[in-house]
Amino acid sequence: MGPECGSWGLPARGTSKRTFCNAFGAMHLDFVSHANECVAKLVLCLYLIVAKHGYFVLEQPAQSLLVKAPRFEHFVNHVCFVFVTRFWMQLLGHPSPKPTVVYSNGSWVKTLDLGVLKKEFRIANTSLKTTRLSPREVLGRFFQLIMPCKCL
């Protein structure tokens, strides 16, 4: 399972106001309250899976605060023993070198960790490229958007 990580990840912390002390975040925002509701439903599914003696695998980005959600925290600390494995998705064939954390009640999830992502491997196999702009280019694009030049 991979719940929506849009409000739990590092890039959204400024907007969602999620912190280690306040995992619920700014609940007056729709996307934050929706994500909280989604995690509550997810934990109910995890209870059902464990009750039926099944296995679950939950994937999140490495910087996600989902583990600090009170319902998930209670599930992990009081209901079920969970194995936590950190790995690089690129070593498993993903086009981006994305660090990921997986939570599972199966010990076999440790086999996903294939070790350290070497720089040479990352450079050779990354097909997704980020665009890096200098401050001058960023300002130039910004001013073109807000004040288009009308030359005759």
Q: Is residue 125 part of a domain?
A: yes
Q: Is residue 32 part of a domain?
A: yes
| Half-sphere CA count of 41, side-chain side, radius 13 A | 10
Range of the domain at 42: 10-146
pLDDT class of 152 with cuts at 50, 70, 90: very low
Q: Which pLDDT tens digit goes with each residue over 113-138?
A: 787 877 777 777 777 666 666 667 76
Number of domains the chain contains? 1
Q: Is residue 119 part of a domain?
A: yes
Q: Which amino acid is at 43?
A: V
Q: Is residue 96 part of a domain?
A: yes
Q: Is residue 152 part of a domain?
A: no
Q: Is residue 124 part of a domain?
A: yes
Q: Which pLDDT tens digit goes with each residue over 4-37?
A: 767 777 777 777 888 888 888 888 888 888 888 8
Q: Is residue 151 part of a domain?
A: no
Mean pLDDT of the chain: 80
> What is the three-class DSSP state of 103?
strand
pLDDT class of 104 with cuts at 50, 70, 90: very high
Q: What is the pTM of this model?
A: 0.72
Q: Is residue 3 part of a domain?
A: no
Q: Does the structure show a pLDDT above 90 at 38?
A: no
> What is the three-class DSSP state of 104?
strand
Q: Which pLDDT tens digit goes with each residue over 71-84?
A: 989 999 898 899 99
pLDDT-above-90 percentage for the chain:
15
> What is the three-class DSSP state of 58?
strand
Q: Which residues pair with 99 in a beta bridge?
A: 88
Q: Which residues contact 16 (CB under 8 A, 6 or more apart)?
A: 7, 8, 25, 26, 29, 31, 32, 35
Q: Which residues contact 85 (CB under 8 A, 6 or more apart)?
A: 101, 102, 104, 109, 110, 112, 113
